[in-house]
Amino acid sequence: MKRLKKIIINGILFTLMFSLCACGERGERPAGEKPVQTVKPDNNGQIPAASEPIATTKEPDETESPAIPESTPEPEFRPPVLLSPGQGREVSLLNEEMTGWFKNYKPASLDKLCDFTEKCEPVPVTFKWNSGGADYCHLFVSENENMTSPLVILTLDDEADAEDLLPGRTYYWRVESSKDGKNEKSEIRTFTTLDAPRTVYIPDVSNVRDLGGKTSSDGRKTRFGIIYRGADFYYIKEKGIHKAVDILGIKTELDLRSRVTGGKSPLGDGIKYLSVTGPYYSGVFADSAKAELADEIRAFADGSNFPIYFHCSLGRDRTGTLAFLLLALCGVSEEEIKVDYEISAFSDLGKYEDRAAPSYMVTQLDAFKNQLMKDKTKTLAENTEDFLIGIGLTREELDAVKNNILEG
């Protein structure tokens, strides 16, 4: 009987303990309560004493901090590495087609290349570097080794385009990068530009170029940035006016299309407007053309007129004739004059419907030059000066023209 009671009591205790354990596993433990201990009776149905080791579920120590992985240090901010143009490299400011034509120039060989689309626009120089993730960079380009008076371009990228550089020059360039308030400077590198005619971009104006960079018989060069030639301003808009006036600094427009009394330049009220009925090619020898032609030349004797832009409609015939006389007067070679003249074949010719072959137009220029060379014992420059004095210009005026156009 005692044995039966003992078994019953142990069974009741076992059942009670099992129920408590099951409730602890299924339900949530109140905050702050110790974890439930799992206890099993032995083979005789006895519950182990409290002093015996009991398996428990360990609470994490809230005072311990989780392990933090080591962070990768940021790379050191270093000076920019210059990539392009390469050190000492020569770059062309003309497009690829014009560059090939110029380097292998043959007179009157443009018929196959001429398609009456605008290809006179210059090519900018593209600069590239590695700044190492800078916030922004400044590109400095200068004609001086000590980097004085540089062209400065701000960019958020690791490259930038520089426009309106001059041909036949050595340039120096460097980059300054900025990151988190820190600045780093690159080394200084050099490059040269191909010594070729300088074409100029004015939005909505075609066939534009600078008469600078031509070599006279005494070794001097014609000045850049003072005489521009091209087509008319018929299509010019705000961006073109900004480029012509604010960037190129044009002060005078010489319109060769017709005599317009009291005319006004499309470039604005601040531009001096001169208008003549310009003769062209052999037409300059007509008595009726002498006064108009003399007025054209006198515009270049007045230093206050520069920089000056002269044009007809296409920028080829009347414009080409005046350019020939100015360059010939300054002692520029016949070949350089012809190169400048033939560049018009890379133009859309002012959007006018003129489809004359370039080789034919060169024959017109040659006929004009042959008539100009009356005295075969004299140079082209001397014959040109004699002709201009014969139509009413003075030697002092012609000297002023040469001094204004030539360096030195």
For the stretch 145-199, pLDDT in tens is 999 999 999 999 999 999 999 999 999 999 999 999 999 999 999 999 999 999 9
pLDDT for res 86: 95
Structure tokens at 280: 């062209």
Structure tokens at 370: 């042959």
pLDDT for res 299: 97
State how far the Cα of 161 lies from the Cα of 88, in Å rounded to an integer.
18
State the architecture of 81-108+122-193 in CATH terms. Sandwich (2.60)
pLDDT for res 61: 55
pLDDT for res 73: 63
Alpha-helical segments (H) within 30-184: 96-103
pLDDT for res 355: 83
- Region label for 394, one of left (φ > 0), alpha (ψ between -120 and 50) or beta (otherwise): beta
Domains 81-108+122-193 and 198-405 share a fold: no
pLDDT for res 23: 45
Residues forming a β-bridge with 272: 252
Q: Are 97 and 49 in contact (CB under 8 A)?
A: no
For the stretch 259-310, pLDDT in tens is: 777 789 999 999 999 999 999 999 999 999 999 999 999 999 999 999 999 9
pLDDT for res 74: 63
Q: Give how far Cα 353 sits from Cα of 49, 116, 313, 316, 343, Å.
A: 115, 9, 11, 13, 18
Is residue 148 exposed (0-12), middle (13-18) or buried (19+ Cβ within 10 Å)?
A: exposed
- Give the domain ranges of the chain: 1-27+36-48, 81-108+122-193, 198-405
Q: Give 392's contacts (C-beta < 8 A, 6+ positions apart).
A: 290, 291, 294
State how far the Cα of 105 lies from the Cα of 202, in Å rounded to an integer.
26
The candidate with the shortest Cα–Cα distance to 300, out of 200, 206, 388, is: 388
Of 3.90.190.10, 3.40.462.10, 3.30.930.10, 2.60.40.1180, the CATH number of 198-405 is: 3.90.190.10
Q: Are 302 and 284 in contact (CB under 8 A)?
A: no
Residue type, 96: E
pLDDT for res 78: 92
Question: pLDDT below 50 — which residues of the chain?
Answer: 1-10, 12-40, 45, 47, 50-57
